[in-house]
Homo-oligomer: A and B are copies of this chain.
Amino acid sequence: MESILKKKKISETPFRINVLEIINSSNTAVAMSHIENNLDKYNRITLYRTLKTFTKKGIIHPIQIAGKEIMYAMCEDSCGAEHQHNHLHLECKKCKTVSCVDVAENMMPNLSAYQIDSFEVYAKGICTTCKSA
């Protein structure tokens, strides 16, 4: 975890390491409330600032589904502040988790009337884990 912070050139503090561990140890997106509940030492303002900093540095990306709590997931190493992810955000209707699914380049919509540079998909369905269970 510390190396990620070092790579992105921000200070390694116990709080930040703690937040990053919580997000990174989940293979699905985590809600802010989940982070709160799992922190060693919770401070609302610091958490907001930490998540904002991580987002700006391309460490995590927020997933905001209308009417639901904001969730966060790890970015690719190469990710910058622009967050051009081109992947699905899949909410599983069975386990209710939200996870990121990479989409092949040829899935990119290319309707000639438009020019689409990047996209984010919010999908509902059943995730791999639930499907193979």
Chain A residues engaging chain B, CB cutoff 8 angstroms: 61-67, 70, 88, 90, 93, 101, 103, 107, 109, 111, 113-128, 131-132
Query: Copy number of this protein in the oligomer?
Result: 2
Query: In the complex, which of the residues B67, B113, B119 contacts A121, with contact meaning CB atoms closer than 8 Å?
Result: B119
Q: How far is the CB of A71 from chain B (nearest CB, A)?
A: 10
Q: How far is the CB of A117 from chain B (nearest CB, A)?
A: 5
Q: Are A62 and B70 in contact (CB under 8 A)?
A: no
Residues of B within 8 A of A124 (CB): 116-119
Q: Are B121 and A125 in contact (CB under 8 A)?
A: no
Query: In the complex, which of the residues B119, B120, B123, B128 contacts A118, with contact meaning CB atoms closer than 8 Å?
Result: B123
Residues of B within 8 A of A126 (CB): 114-115, 117
Most buried by B among A65, A67, A111: A111
Q: Are B93 and A101 in contact (CB under 8 A)?
A: no
